Chains A and B, each alone.
Chain A
Amino acid sequence: MGEIPEKRTSLWVWGLLIPFIALLWLPFYNSREPSLFGFPFFYWYQFAWVPLTSFLIYLAYRAVK
């Protein structure tokens, strides 16, 4: 083991932890208001994290590529 020098884990890779905190800590978003286009906050917040997570993965991808 250890033939390859250890690469420092990029800061952007740590960014991948953010969706876990944002989505698994329910008090952040378990509410009706503010609603958007008829969607209670609980729903549009979850939908919003789909592109946000893709973007965070993109940032990590750029850093490790």
Chain B
Amino acid sequence: MSVDSVNWPALSVFIFFFALVTVLGFVASRWKAGDLTQLHEWGLGGRRFGTIITWFLVGGDFYTAYTVIAVPALVYSVGAYGFFALPYTIIVYPIVFLIMPRLWAVCHKHHYVTGADFVHGRYGSAWLALAVAITGILATMPYIALQLVGMQVVIGALGIGGEGFTGEIPLIVAFLILAVYTYSSGLRAPAMIAFVKDIMIYIVVFAAVAVIPMHLGGYAAVFDAADKAFQAKGGATGIILQPGQFMPFATVALGSALAAFMYPHTMTGVLSSSSGDVVRKNAMLLPIYTVLLGLIALLGYMGIAAGVSVKSATAIVPALFLKIFPGWFVGFSFAAIAIGALVPAAIMSIGAANLFTRNILRAIINPDITPAAEASSAKLISLIVKFGALVVIVFLPTQFAIDLQLLGGVWILQTFPAVALGLSRLRLRPSALLLGWAIGMVAGTWMAVSTGLKPIFPLSLGGATYPIYIGILAGGLNLVISVVASYALGAMGVDENVDETRPADYVV
């Protein structure tokens, strides 16, 4: 790192906005004031967030900084296939509309703080709840680490990153700030920061999609340049899909949509809203963010058309902005991305901390824990989780977090039968669901490892090969086993009917 390589106008604007959200993060503890020594106050913001706050919170939480970096990077590298993100983030909302208001209602009624709390109550099985909790924590950890990658990329592009451990100091400082205000303010901090972050991201993206194509001769020219670039690379991928990509594209989109709201951070966002109706309205309104994501994805093609060359595809968005925008706006956009990492990272660590506290500490280790001790445990765990993610990013190759996040997607899908089917009238047996979960986890991990940690498994069936997303295959196996074992247990007369919820509890 040298003083010459630092982009001073960009850095000043960047630091200004970063300082602003830091202040907001601490002020947030007094916003809609509640007793922060209670877990549902610290970890769910007291379930008080209305339609607009929830919209910003879930939007900021679901469309993460890593998305802003990784989706255009994928489009830059492989073209149309990277657009699976669009079908994924469209069909996710009918799913949210159908199941999440019911989850909100039953969790509100029984004071559940996590998805695993619901599973515990619905099935009367601490072990099934433990399986759901551990899966959630495992899937979230690498996701937090990847938010740091988003931050690392923009810090590097500002010229204050650099080689070795000292180059990571800006990242460590940013993350310490995040850790401290999450500790003191809980979910209120990311909720308040999400306002600033999302408005900044909207400004950046609308400026980018209006200004950049003007420099490049319009959208037709952008698509044309990308088309030629992919053909020059041999045409294995392009600006429309090859027929062989249809099934991977569709199954990854569907699997990601089913998994999306099973993650602790998205579920935490939903549960923090003030009513089931707020959740329904958000299913209608959150797709606005999908338009934003689609526009962000197009930045990958703009990078190609602008002739930006990067060592790693993840640097494409910052490199494109540096090439086109003036310094002060580069600083503004990079701050938007870095702050964009703080919101989901905070909510993810809160979601994981809630799971650990409720479904491991209270359910298994210390059932007599007081509510105040519960909240202070969650605060401490949120620090540990973030510290773990930081260690992974500073000391291990980024690929490690990317591979784990891929596995995390496969794993979190294995909680879908217990959680989502549990919200319907159908109630499978907890031991059957636990068996299905275990087999799904093992099969999914095995398939991922056997393909060299790729998301797609070539399934051979009757002489033909179908390339299908591993999460869908493992989840399908899980579902079949859960249903069959459930009916088998029923036929054997095994009684497992301890359900503390009633049908009326699910009505919004």
Q: Scan residues 11-50 of chain A and give those whose CB is less than 8 A from a CB of chain B.
A: 13, 16-17, 19-20, 23-27, 30-32, 35, 37-40, 42-43, 46-47, 49-50
Q: Are A19 and B503 in contact (CB under 8 A)?
A: no
Chain B residues within 8 Å of A26, by CB: 241, 246, 249-250
Given contacts A57-B94, A61-B284, 13 further A-B contacts (CB under 8 A): A19-B94, A20-B94, A26-B246, A32-B239, A35-B220, A40-B240, A42-B83, A46-B87, A50-B288, A54-B287, A61-B281, A61-B283, A65-B280
Q: Scan residues 217-247 of chain B and give those whose CB is less than 8 A from a CB of chain A.
A: 218-223, 239-241, 246
Interface centre among A3, A13, A17, A23 (most CB of B within 10 A): A23
Chain B residues within 8 Å of A50, by CB: 86, 90, 287-288, 290-291, 294
User: Given contacts A1-B503, A20-B91, is CB(A46)–CB(B283) below 8 Å?
Assistant: no
Chain B residues within 8 Å of A58, by CB: 284
Complex-state Cα separation, A46 to B223, whole angstroms: 16
Interface size on A, residues (CB 8 A): 37
User: Given contacts A3-B502, A35-B220, A37-B219, is CB(A16)–CB(B87) below 8 Å?
Assistant: no
B52 interfacial by beta-carbon distance below 8 Å: no
16 A/B residue pairs, CB under 8 Å, sorted by A: A2-B503, A4-B504, A20-B254, A23-B90, A24-B87, A25-B250, A26-B241, A32-B239, A32-B240, A39-B223, A40-B239, A42-B239, A46-B83, A46-B90, A54-B93, A56-B94
B98 interfacial by beta-carbon distance below 8 Å: yes
Chain A residues within 8 Å of B285, by CB: 54
Identify the A interface with B (CB < 8 A): 1-4, 13, 16-17, 19-20, 23-27, 30-32, 35, 37-40, 42-43, 46-47, 49-51, 53-54, 56-58, 60-61, 65
Closest-CB distance, A17 to chain B (whole angstroms):
8
B329 interfacial by beta-carbon distance below 8 Å: no
Q: Are A30 and B241 in contact (CB under 8 A)?
A: yes
Closest-CB distance, B42 to chain A (whole angstroms):
32
User: Given contacts A16-B97, A16-B98, is CB(A42)–CB(B91) below 8 Å?
Assistant: no
Closest-CB distance, A26 to chain B (whole angstroms):
4
Q: Are B218 and A38 in contact (CB under 8 A)?
A: yes
B87 interface neighbour in A23, A31, A32, Cβ under 8 Å: A23
Complex-state Cα separation, A32 to B138, whole angstroms: 41
- Whose C-beta in chain A lies nearest to the C-beta of B499? A1
Complex-state Cα separation, A49 to B395, whole angstroms: 42
Chain B residues within 8 Å of A17, by CB: 94
Chain A residues within 8 Å of B284, by CB: 54, 57-58, 61
Chain B residues within 8 Å of A27, by CB: 246
Chain B residues within 8 Å of A61, by CB: 97, 280-281, 283-284
Complex-state Cα separation, A47 to B219, whole angstroms: 15
- What 4 A-B pairs have minimum CB-CB distances, sorted nearest first? A38-B219, A38-B220, A16-B94, A23-B87
Interface centre among A30, A35, A43 (most CB of B within 10 A): A43
Chain B residues within 8 Å of A24, by CB: 87, 91, 250, 253-254
Q: Are A42 and B93 in contact (CB under 8 A)?
A: no
Complex-state Cα separation, A30 to B277, whole angstroms: 36
B311 interfacial by beta-carbon distance below 8 Å: no
- Whose C-beta in chain B lies nearest to the C-beta of A52? B90
Q: Are A4 and B507 in contact (CB under 8 A)?
A: yes
B80 interfacial by beta-carbon distance below 8 Å: yes
- Whose C-beta in chain A lies nearest to the C-beta of B507? A4
B294 interface neighbour in A2, A31, A46, Cβ under 8 Å: A46
Closest-CB distance, B200 to chain A (whole angstroms):
22
Q: Are B240 and A53 in contact (CB under 8 A)?
A: no
- Whose C-beta in chain B lies nearest to the C-beta of A53? B90
Q: Scan residues 454-508 of chain B and give those whose CB is less than 8 A from a CB of chain A.
A: 502-504, 507
Complex-state Cα separation, A57 to B281, whole angstroms: 9
B97 interface neighbour in A23, A37, A42, A60, Cβ under 8 Å: A60
- Whose C-beta in chain B lies nearest to the C-beta of A29? B240
